[in-house]
Amino acid sequence: MPESRHSRITIFDYGAGNLHSLAKAVASFGTAPVIEVDPARAIETDVLLLPGVGAFTPAAERLAPGLVAMRAALAAGLPCLGICLGMQLLLETSDEGPGAGLGVIPGRVERIRAERLPQIGWNAADDARDPLFAESGLRDVYYANSFICRPTDLACVTSWSTHEGDRFPASVRVGRTVGVQFHPEKSSSAGVAFVHAFLREMLA
């Protein structure tokens, strides 16, 4: 493990829930994350985390003042892990409501084509090709969502899940930006190991 105590890991707090579980998962890696509400200051870090649980429009509003700067930082190689809503903010727009995402991944966020929503509980991450899955042993993942990402270019998709016949990206990767629609911090010990594997790779 790298000397993580010398690294700055920042969770951008845009009003989403579940910061505690993610912060706890990061802290078990060896350093306490910084919680930052200012998007411009959130990118003054070694690793940026965009947490999940929440609605697209209010999160986009909180992101808006630092949108251009954060987009540029990610394009320049700032490591970023977007979780659930955080993954959706990596795209351009959402059917959930108005507001602009980062556009790091071209595409749109859409409602899952299913009758039972939200999708809450365990599902499989299939056809996983991101090394983070192999390193962590993560296969079954925990979801709490009604919306999913539809990237324009599916080459960025690194695993898939299916809910009531709707197959959607469970994870994506573009450069040093990784997005997961599931909650690794709630996906048992293998999910926490996934977060650690991501941090290990990005801080190496």
Residues taking part in catalysis = 84, 183, 185
Which residue's structure tokens are 């727009």? Answer: 93
CB count, 10 Å around CB of 152?
12
Q: Is 33 helix (H, G, I), strand (E, B) or coil?
A: coil
Dihedral-angle region of residue 15 (phi above 0 means left; psi in -120 to 50 means alpha; beta otherwise): left
**Residue 129 and residue 117: Cα distance in Å, rounded?**
28
For the chain, the maximum distance between any two Cα atoms, rounded to a whole number of angstroms, is: 47
d(CA 106, CA 47): 22
